Structure 1
């Protein structure tokens, strides 16, 4: 059992037992403008990042996929087309409001046959061992309180030969690019949050949570320690985002 008493919430130190509640409040606040803000923040590039993660997942027709912290369903929408009518994708999120919006969106798109929904905690996945061919968590791991527990849980529910795909903000590469990225993150992003979502604080948290997330090499090492093999990562947009992939053998 993890005996960690405190953890980070952005740059603040908070009781570990309180972080999930605080993250929930952030996403309750931004859920209504989440998709619009994603497009604005990344100039639409997040859609390319997600398609690259899909390609790196090697998901095939008929497979079972768990989309963890799936929010409004971007990755689920991509995966369900790939697995086809004989496959299955579970859209999951710990946040009920985000999950509801994802479910409503997919139903509106006519996606009803090969997708299920679950409100779950990534640290305690309620699925049998060796159950999924792929588990994907896109832009969600940095919000998990005990990341090591989540990685072990993901490893447990994967079938032998199954893949974990982690798409997450990471450490930008290059001094000049880092300076420009910091300016954008800490000045422009909260301003966008204020004007579009009426919530500057949540987007300030977003920028801080990215800086506190393990960098590429550290996350790769955490995956190895959780039992994954053949772990590797792929930097996108100068390392602003990275896709990590690991296999259960």
Structure 2
């Protein structure tokens, strides 16, 4: 796994990219990103849930979740970029969903929440840029209630060895331009959750063969410590 970009570089990139982030990310992923968000929300969120969307950016996933939880639910969107949160707030007000949502500036590697705070926790494409994606996903698991669902979508390596090598070359070229790569690289987080006895509920691979995304949902056991 390639080393992450520095935090201050990432924040500057996302603040600057925020107004056009949805368009930019959609084009780079051939709109597989939206499919991943919908799969995560479909399989991880229920009406009335307390939901955390960690690294939720401009709110694309959080808005889907806010519609699904209904008026009795609550969605907290946490992101380290003020620029991205500004776009999320604007979209939430335009959609008439702001009253179901809270917006927090924060670091995914230092979540400002107690253990077992949420019925569902979501991360769509926000683990990829972290310095330690495994630490990040285990932090998300910590704040999930026993019996709750964690839904994740992130970049993954191609299964085919030849495509994996080609994808590495493409990633290396993009890495020279942070505004293009946005710090995203292929990561692997599911094994750490499975080692912690998380129960796999759903798994799919989407995107194109050269740049796939893994989408998964795990349940935290009821008797989890």
> 1:235 deviation in Å?
1.3
Q: Which residue of 1 aligns with 2:219?
A: 247
1:69 aligns with 2:64: no
- Rate the CA distance shift 1:128–1:170 in 2: closer, same or farther, 3 A: same
Where does structure 1 differ by over 6 angstroms across 4 or more consecutive aligned residues?
none
Structure (1 or 2) with the larger CA radius of gyration: 1
Which residues in structure 2 correspond to 1:1-249 (within 5 Å)?
A: 8-9=3-4, 19-57=6-44, 59-174=45-160, 178=164, 200-204=177-181, 206=183, 209-211=184-186, 213-214=187-188, 219-225=189-195, 227-231=196-200, 233-237=203-207, 238=209, 240-249=212-221
In structure 2, how many angstroms separate the alpha carbons of the residues matched to 1:184 and 1:143?
16
Equivalent position SS for 1:141: coil
Equivalent position SS for 1:164: strand
In structure 2, how many angstroms separate the alpha carbons of the residues matched to 1:244 and 1:69?
17
Cα root mean square deviation, aligned:
2.6
In structure 2, how many angstroms separate the alpha carbons of the residues matched to 1:246 and 1:94?
25
In structure 2, how many angstroms separate the alpha carbons of the residues matched to 1:234 and 1:158?
22
Aligned partners of 2:48 and 2:72 also within 8 Å: yes
1:127-148 residue CA offsets vs partner (Å, 9 max, x unmatched): 2221111100110112222333
Gaps of 5+ in 2: none
Aligned partners of 2:67 and 2:97 also within 8 Å: no
In structure 2, how many angstroms separate the alpha carbons of the residues matched to 1:125 and 1:204?
25
- Rate the CA distance shift 1:114–1:184 in 2: closer, same or farther, 3 A: same
Equivalent position SS for 1:113: helix
Gaps of 5+ in 1: 1-6, 11-18, 191-198
- Structure with the largest fraction of helix: 1
- Rate the CA distance shift 1:148–1:184 in 2: closer, same or farther, 3 A: closer
1:186-245 residue CA offsets vs partner (Å, 9 max, x unmatched): 67x79xxxxxxxx95421454xx414x23xxxx2222234x3411363211347001132
Aligned partners of 2:26 and 2:33 also within 8 Å: yes
